């Protein structure tokens, strides 16, 4: 008697679909690698001469506040000085050396206390230092460690791979994208190259080199292409240059960087995070539907996955809007005190850039869902329907 097992692996997707997907991923990888090589920034280019505060780059020191005298603040109008050293005086210790700590007027409203660790830069003489901000390395480091532990505790190995992918993404942004833009490389090409490199490595590291991940990657790439095209059009049509903002002026004046290109790149990077979540979820949903319903055709699987996708779109729309709105809450508070209609204010300056960011990312997200679902429906391996028990055993 010979038993024919029904546990054989499911047949793969059609060879043509697999080859087409691998070719597209190969082209994307080749484009990303070519872009990294061609656009790699010149050594030390990010520290362009003439930028304001250029001599202070990397010059921050850690100091411990040893004394604060705010007695003069009681007589100062509004609790703040009118100039000079302000109404408060302070002393600190830098590398064991006592110095007089200069407090800018912005720091008077939130005076440091004795024992606080602060970041300072060199003052006008050897015995003085200028308060820059509080030293947050310890609390922020502990928060980052707690976040990593939470991810590892719940997601274990997959969480570790996600953290490694995140570290790579920030390495690309900080080590390639920002220096390349500041060194004069074409900002749009730099942004596209960085986005492609991040997508390729992050998605495969976090989710494995599988057909499922490849389908999600292609869906993400399609969404990023749509997002980038829309960002480019709306940036120029609506003149979202941000040229009246201080940061944009500095970039244009000292680094010759078009602020409109910065807007496009910022939307591209934001789009990766938004799209990655939705594409991975859609592909996983369709894969599980195919496993649970082996008799279903590809169109039936696409339709069922799209019903899930519509729910995901509905939740993602307000998730994206609320996340970006929360990040711009301080700006919204300032806008609401201006006395002008809020919606009118949202179309001015940096507020208009944030609104465009939300709308473009949402359009890319919505269109990426059917595109990703279609790719997954074509690529998903079809599982054999379970045969009757008597047909699974044959006597010879």
What string of DSSP letters covers 139-177? Answer: HHHHHHHHHHHHHHHHHHHHHHHHHHHHHHHHHHIIIII
User: Over 90: is that where the pLDDT of 371 sits?
Assistant: yes
The whole-number pLDDT of residue 174 equals: 92
Q: Where are the domains of the chain?
A: 9-41+155-379, 57-135
Q: What is the mean pLDDT of the chain?
A: 78
Where is average pLDDT lowest: 88-92, 219-223, 391-395?
391-395
CB contact burial 127-156 (16+ within 10 A = b; e otherwise): ebbbbbeebeeeeeeeeeeeeeeebeeeee
User: Over 70: is that where the pLDDT of 217 sits?
Assistant: yes
Beta bridge partner(s), residue 3: 393
Beta bridge partner(s), residue 89: 69
| CB 392 within 8 Å of CB 224 | no
**Among the four given CATH numbers 3.30.390.30, 3.40.50.300, 3.30.70.260, 2.40.50.140, the one describing domain 57-135:** 2.40.50.140
Of 280, 326, 283, residue with least CA distance to 301: 283
Overall size of the chain counted in residues: 396
Whole-angstrom distance, CA of residue 64 vs CA of residue 116: 6
**Locate tokens 């490595």: which residue?**
201
Residues sharing a CB contact under 8 Å with residue 272, sequence separation 6 or more, in sequence order: 169, 195, 198, 199, 220, 224
pTM: 0.74
At 386 the three-state DSSP class reads coil
Query: What's the average model confidence in pLDDT over 248-263?
Result: 65
Residues sharing a CB contact under 8 Å with residue 9, sequence separation 6 or more, in sequence order: none
Query: What's the average model confidence in pLDDT over 23-30?
Result: 92
The whole-number pLDDT of residue 43 equals: 64
Residue 266's pLDDT band (cuts 50, 70, 90):
confident
Q: 197 is written with which tokens?
A: 């490199």
Query: What's the average model confidence in pLDDT over 145-152?
Result: 94
Query: What's the average model confidence in pLDDT over 287-301?
Result: 87
Provide the 8-state DSSP code for 111: -
For the stretch 81-119, pLDDT in tens is: 333 445 667 888 888 888 888 887 766 667 888 888 988
């Amino acid at each position: 008697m010979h038993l024919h097992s029904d546990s054989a692996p499911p047949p793969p997707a059609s060879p043509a679909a697999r080859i087409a997907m691998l070719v597209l991923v190969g082209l994307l990888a080749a484009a990303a690698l070519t872009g990294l090589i061609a656009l790699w920034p010149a050594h030390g280019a990010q520290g362009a001469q003439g930028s304001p505060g250029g001599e202070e780059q990397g010059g921050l020191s850690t100091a411990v506040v040893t004394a604060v005298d705010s007695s003069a603040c009681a007589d100062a109008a509004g609790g703040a000085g009118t100039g000079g050293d302000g109404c408060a005086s302070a002393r600190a210790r830098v590398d064991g050396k006592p110095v007089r700590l200069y407090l800018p007027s912005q720091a008077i409203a939130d005076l440091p206390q004795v024992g606080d660790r602060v970041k300072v830069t060199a003052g006008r003489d050897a015995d003085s230092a200028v308060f820059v901000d509080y030293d947050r390395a310890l609390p922020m480091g502990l928060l980052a460690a707690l976040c990593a532990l939470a991810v590892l505790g719940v997601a274990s190995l997959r969480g570790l791979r996600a953290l490694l992918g995140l570290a790579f993404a920030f390495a690309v942004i900080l080590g390639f994208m920002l220096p390349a833009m500041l060194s004069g490389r074409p900002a749009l090409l730099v942004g596209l190259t960085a986005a492609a490199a991040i997508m390729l490595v992050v998605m495969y590291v976090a989710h494995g080199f599988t057909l499922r991940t490849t389908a999600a990657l292609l869906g993400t790439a399609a969404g990023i292409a749509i997002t980038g095209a829309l960002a480019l059009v709306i940036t120029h049509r609506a003149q979202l240059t941000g040229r009246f903002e201080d940061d944009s002026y500095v970039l244009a004046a000292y680094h010759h960087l078009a602020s409109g290109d910065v807007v496009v790149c910022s939307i591209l990077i934001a789009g990766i995070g938004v799209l990655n979540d939705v594409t991975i979820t859609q592909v996983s949903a369709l894969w599980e539907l195919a496993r649970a319903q082996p008799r279903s055709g590809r169109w039936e699987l696409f339709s069922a996955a799209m019903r899930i996708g519509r729910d995901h779109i509905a939740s993602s729309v307000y998730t994206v809007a609320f996340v970006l709105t929360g990040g711009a809450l301080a700006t919204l508070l300032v806008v609401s005190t201006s006395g002008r209609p809020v919606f009118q204010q949202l179309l001015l300056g940096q507020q208009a850039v944030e609104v465009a960011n939300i709308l473009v990312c949402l359009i890319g997200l919505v269109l990426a869902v059917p595109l990703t679902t279609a790719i997954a429906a074509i690529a998903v391996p079809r599982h054999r329907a379970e045969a009757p028990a008597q047909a699974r055993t044959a006597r010879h």
